[in-house]
Chain A
């Protein structure tokens, strides 16, 4: 019988490997043309979002279609602390995460009364409601369509004491500006949270709480007849996952201090579902890989426009070249979402376990070959 491969030691190796890969991103992303801070920050932020989403969907089996709402709430709360208190991001982010946690508690309490598709629809509906509210009645808090921005008139009570000069001061961590080190500080700040978030997710996954979540995903009937009250477990998972999303939203605001309602739209919720699926539902690193792949592809594909394509196909006869350029242009630039949709369908149809399952399959094929060789 196979010995269990998951031990604290293997988890430690996984964690150290993950940390190294993340910290060295500015190096190994260089040849891929993705080593600039803006994009790497996105990898980290959406990686966190996906890790949190995976705790709910991957571990507990509850498919939320409204998770972007927590990103929005986290962003708004964070920007408000910037406006009222200080441009130091730490208190702002703590506040952002707490507010989104409370928001998740309320939303979760309502939505978790149902399961399956009802749950998905309820989360979708509540997120759309929050989105609509952000655009309408809550304009005093959200600044409606313009989005919440910093102004020179903001009080910033804590900063006001020592403030010198005019203009909006940049966001900072105890004086170190986000844009320091050629922008790399911002990235390492986000990366630190990604690594921390990853560590917490390993611990949660391996904890007895994590076992309970997987039990809920697999067989709720047996859970109940085992004497477990599943509701608080599900709610805790929902809140944790909402706080991860809130943290991601806070980080977005920390590196770029504004917040808009479009972050809460269902398309954003759909995107995190896609990241998780693409990477591998229920796996530890899968969601992070999925987030990075999608953000990377988005960056590449959406930058390509027609003129680039015509250049690309210029070695061919004109008619064929421009024809190919026309067809390809459907999938790139503004048409990037089409590629995304197709990718999404292909993954769900052919590779439900995502990239991680793909890697497993390849591994197995190689190992199978090894065995065959040994036998021969």
Chain B
């Protein structure tokens, strides 16, 4: 029983990542009508924001290592530590939260540039063209990252404060030790999801966007400049996806192709949740994350070998065959 609970918990952080990417995907699809195959690349770019910030603040000088007395040894000491002492170490330790501040404007910029520079010209083109051009963009982005950071994963560490584990089972009398950062990730993703939903629900801007998702033409007839708002939506989706990737770095060391790996799964999430449905994307994200986690239990795997590898795809197939619109899909969205 404890093991099952633990697996459900383990699924939450992955589910959170799926949900955040899927949220952006479906937001872009619902408002702009564009299928963005480069959305995974945004997730990856976010992760590499963390890597970059970490690289910058740990820029080091070679200093004689006094602890080694037998021969002349040198060690790397970050400038920040040399200049600021313990404060410097603290800043380095908190590099991931700090990089959040950097990533928001960067991702917003990337998103806006992408929409203005490329996606906008593809609104009227067939979906196949949109898929193809964003697919090309995804390759370009990940190859650029590969050129700068190499092909190997670059591990990132969470702040010391969040390292280790917490025991969540204390309250209900179970033994559920859980890595603290995963818990942080889950809470973070819930926070982002809540902010996106309340932004759409409670602001005038959000209201127009929702109306645009429901019926684009009518909203345009009202004389509202939808296009401008939609590029902001794209920027927003880029930020959401980027932050999701950034915060995920301590859980999964980022490499250049992590975006595509997540994208394939996120598409499945969107399809299962229902194209164009925001709650569907979130629910399906967590659902599939948890199911994947449960399927990787040894007990399950001994009955169905390899089920952990294919569970998501199996669920997607079943959902599409039984409920073609997805769990919460809207009528009329991509019906044909």
Contact A270:B336 (CB < 8 A) given known A113-B324, A342-B140:
no
Q: Are B334 and A341 in contact (CB under 8 A)?
A: no
B260 neighbours in A (Cβ, 8 Å): 266
Convert B125-146 into 0s and 1s, putting 1 for each residue whose CB lies closer than 8 angstroms to a CB of A.
0011101110111111001101
Instruction: Flag whether B321 is at the interface (Cβ < 8 A).
Output: yes
B129 neighbours in A (Cβ, 8 Å): 348, 352
Q: Are A335 and B309 in contact (CB under 8 A)?
A: no
- State how many residues of chain A have any CB contact under 8 Å with chain B: 43
Complex: A266 Cα to B268 Cα, angstroms: 15
Q: Are A63 and B143 in contact (CB under 8 A)?
A: no
Q: Are A136 and B140 in contact (CB under 8 A)?
A: no
Complex: A322 Cα to B131 Cα, angstroms: 37
Interface hub of A117, A274, A338, A342 (most chain B Cβ within 10 A): A117
Q: Are B128 and A63 in contact (CB under 8 A)?
A: yes
Which one of B143, B268, B320 contacts A113 once the chains associate, using CB atoms below 8 Å? B320
Convert B105-139 into 0s and 1s, putting 1 for each residue whose CB lies closer than 8 angstroms to a CB of A.
00000000000001001000001110111011111
Instruction: Flag whether B316 is at the interface (Cβ < 8 A).
Output: yes
Task: State how many angstroms separate the Cβ of B139 from the closest Cβ of chain A.
Answer: 3
Q: Are A129 and B309 in contact (CB under 8 A)?
A: yes
Q: Are B132 and A277 in contact (CB under 8 A)?
A: yes
Instruction: Flag whether A344 is at the interface (Cβ < 8 A).
Output: yes
Q: Are B140 and A345 in contact (CB under 8 A)?
A: yes
CB within 8 Å of A: which of B19-60? 35
B336 neighbours in A (Cβ, 8 Å): 115-116, 220
A143 neighbours in B (Cβ, 8 Å): none
Instruction: Flag whether B91 is at the interface (Cβ < 8 A).
Output: no
A335 neighbours in B (Cβ, 8 Å): 143, 146-147
Task: State how many angstroms separate the Cβ of A115 from the closest Cβ of chain B.
Answer: 6
Q: Are A345 and B137 in contact (CB under 8 A)?
A: yes
Q: Which of A9-17, A36-44, A120-128, A196-204 participates in binding chain B?
A: A120-128
Task: State how many angstroms separate the Cβ of B3 from the closest Cβ of chain A.
Answer: 22
A266 neighbours in B (Cβ, 8 Å): 260, 264
Which one of B133, B138, B313, B320 contacts A118 once the chains associate, using CB atoms below 8 Å? B320
Main secondary structure of the interface of A (DSSP, over half): helix
B139 neighbours in A (Cβ, 8 Å): 270, 337-338, 340-341, 344
Complex: A342 Cα to B144 Cα, angstroms: 11
- State how many residues of chain B have any CB contact under 8 Å with chain A: 39
Instruction: Flag whether B300 is at the interface (Cβ < 8 A).
Output: no
Complex: A114 Cα to B336 Cα, angstroms: 8
Q: Are B334 and A110 in contact (CB under 8 A)?
A: no
Instruction: Flag whether B176 is at the interface (Cβ < 8 A).
Output: no
Contact A117:B140 (CB < 8 A) given known A132-B309, A136-B309, A330-B147:
no
A341 neighbours in B (Cβ, 8 Å): 136-140, 143
Complex: A116 Cα to B128 Cα, angstroms: 8
Task: State how many angstroms separate the Cβ of A143 from the closest Cβ of chain B.
Answer: 15
Instruction: Flag whether B267 is at the interface (Cβ < 8 A).
Output: yes
Complex: A63 Cα to B128 Cα, angstroms: 7
Contact A125:B267 (CB < 8 A) given known A335-B147, A338-B144:
yes
Contact A116:B127 (CB < 8 A) given known A121-B267, A338-B147:
yes
Complex: A312 Cα to B135 Cα, angstroms: 32
Contacts A/B (CB < 8 Å), 15 sampled: A110-B321, A118-B275, A122-B316, A125-B312, A129-B309, A129-B310, A132-B306, A132-B309, A133-B309, A133-B310, A136-B306, A270-B139, A337-B143, A341-B140, A345-B118
Q: Using a CB–CB distance below 8 Å, which chain B residues touch chain A? A: 35, 118, 121, 127-129, 131-133, 135-140, 143-144, 146-147, 260, 264, 267-268, 271, 275, 305-306, 309-310, 312-314, 316-317, 320-321, 324, 334, 336
Q: Using a CB–CB distance below 8 Å, which chain A residues touch chain B? A: 61, 63, 65, 110, 113-118, 120-122, 124-126, 128-129, 132-133, 135-138, 220, 266, 270, 273-274, 277, 330, 334-335, 337-338, 340-342, 344-345, 348-349, 352
Can you add 8 more A-B contacts, CB < 8 Å, to A125-B316, A133-B309? A65-B131, A220-B336, A330-B144, A335-B143, A335-B147, A338-B144, A340-B139, A344-B135
